[in-house]
Amino acid sequence: MTDKIAIIGFGNIASAIVTPLLDNKLIQPENVFCVVNTEKSLENIKKNYKHNINVYKSGSKESKIIWDCQYKLLSIKPQQLNDISEAHHIKNKDNLIVSILAGVSINRLTQKFPNHKCVRVVTNIPITIGKGLTGISWGEEITEDQKQFTKKLFENTSKIYEFTEDYLDIFLALTSSGPATICLIKENKLTTSELKNLVTSPGGTTISALRVLEKKSVRSALIESIVSASNRSKEFR
């Protein structure tokens, strides 16, 4: 992948997608152009991120360079979409936005970014251990090159499924929210609550799923079922 890529929002999931590509030298750090919202994140990435990527603060003059990249990964929170505006003078003719925003339709993306073709992707945090599941819905008139580029972003770290958009929400509920509700943490040094924090955002889809589990006392039911089985086994002694 020799192309330049802009990353609009470089948080948990963008880092999980891009870092393995940089680690495996599938993208060169000088070809990655990120924009974040706060000075804190800007400094943190500059100081602590292991690859020397280009990073800018949103609204700064330099950050406008991202609109000159043909390929863009849109990885802000859905609630932050209103803060992003497509630049008026776009140089590339064949622009692509790959959006991983939960619940934001291709139609809304196309209205928001009229000078881009848009792809909607649902991926999940197990991409950090190379075991992700990624669903892709193509917008209109996506070229074969654009399809190949999109798949390359995810194919090293996940299995890829291509769906019509109707199926993506179901796929999201099962795969993106899934790690917060049922998970195997053998291969990662995270605690269950750290993993939950990685995959939830206030007002998001996953926290809404967790709320139902809490309301239905699933956690308590699981604990009590184990205690009950353990107590019962002691009765057989």
Ligand X SMILES: NC(=O)c1ccc[n+]([C@@H]2O[C@H](COP(=O)([O-])OP(=O)(O)OC[C@H]3O[C@@H](n4cnc5c(N)ncnc54)[C@H](OP(=O)(O)O)[C@@H]3O)[C@@H](O)[C@H]2O)c1
Closest CA to 42 of 50, 30, 54: 54
Closest CA to 32 of 14, 12, 59, 58: 14
Determine whether 44 is exposed, middle or buried from the number of CB atoms within 10 Å of its CB (0-12, 13-18, 19+): middle
Contact 56, 84 (CB under 8 A): no
> Nearer to ligand X by C-beta: 75 or 150?
75
- Site membership for ligand X, residue 9 (CB under 6 A): yes
Considering only residues 102 through 121, tell me which ones interact with ligand X, judged by CB under 6 A. 102
Number of residues that bind ligand X (CB under 6 A): 30
Residue of the chain from 5, 6, 13, 97 that contacts ligand X (CB under 6 A): 13
- Site membership for ligand X, residue 66 (CB under 6 A): no
- Site membership for ligand X, residue 101 (CB under 6 A): yes
- Site membership for ligand X, residue 176 (CB under 6 A): yes
Determine whether 115 is exposed, middle or buried from the number of CB atoms within 10 Å of its CB (0-12, 13-18, 19+): middle
Dihedral angle over CA of 10, 11, 17, 22, nearest 10? 50
- Site membership for ligand X, residue 37 (CB under 6 A): yes
How would DSSP label each residue in 14-32?
Answer: HHHHHHHHHHTTSS-GGGE
Neighbours of 157 (CB within 10 A): 21
Neighbours of 214 (CB within 10 A): 10
Residue of the chain from 60, 80, 107, 191 that contacts ligand X (CB under 6 A): 80
> Nearer to ligand X by C-beta: 27 or 36?
36
Rounded to a whole number of angstroms, the minimum distance from the CB of residue 225 to ligand X is 28
Residue of the chain from 69, 96, 119, 125 that contacts ligand X (CB under 6 A): 125
- The 151-170 site mask, x for binding ligand X (CB under 6 A), equals --------------------
Q: Tell me which stretch binds ligand X (CB under 6 A): 5-13, 157-165, 216-224, 228-236.
A: 5-13
- Site membership for ligand X, residue 150 (CB under 6 A): no
- Site membership for ligand X, residue 75 (CB under 6 A): yes
Positions of E strands within the chain: 5-8, 32-36, 54-57, 71-74, 96-99, 117-122, 132-138, 158-162
- Site residues for ligand X per CB under 6 A: 8-14, 35-38, 41, 58, 75-78, 80, 83-84, 100-102, 123-125, 176, 198-199, 201
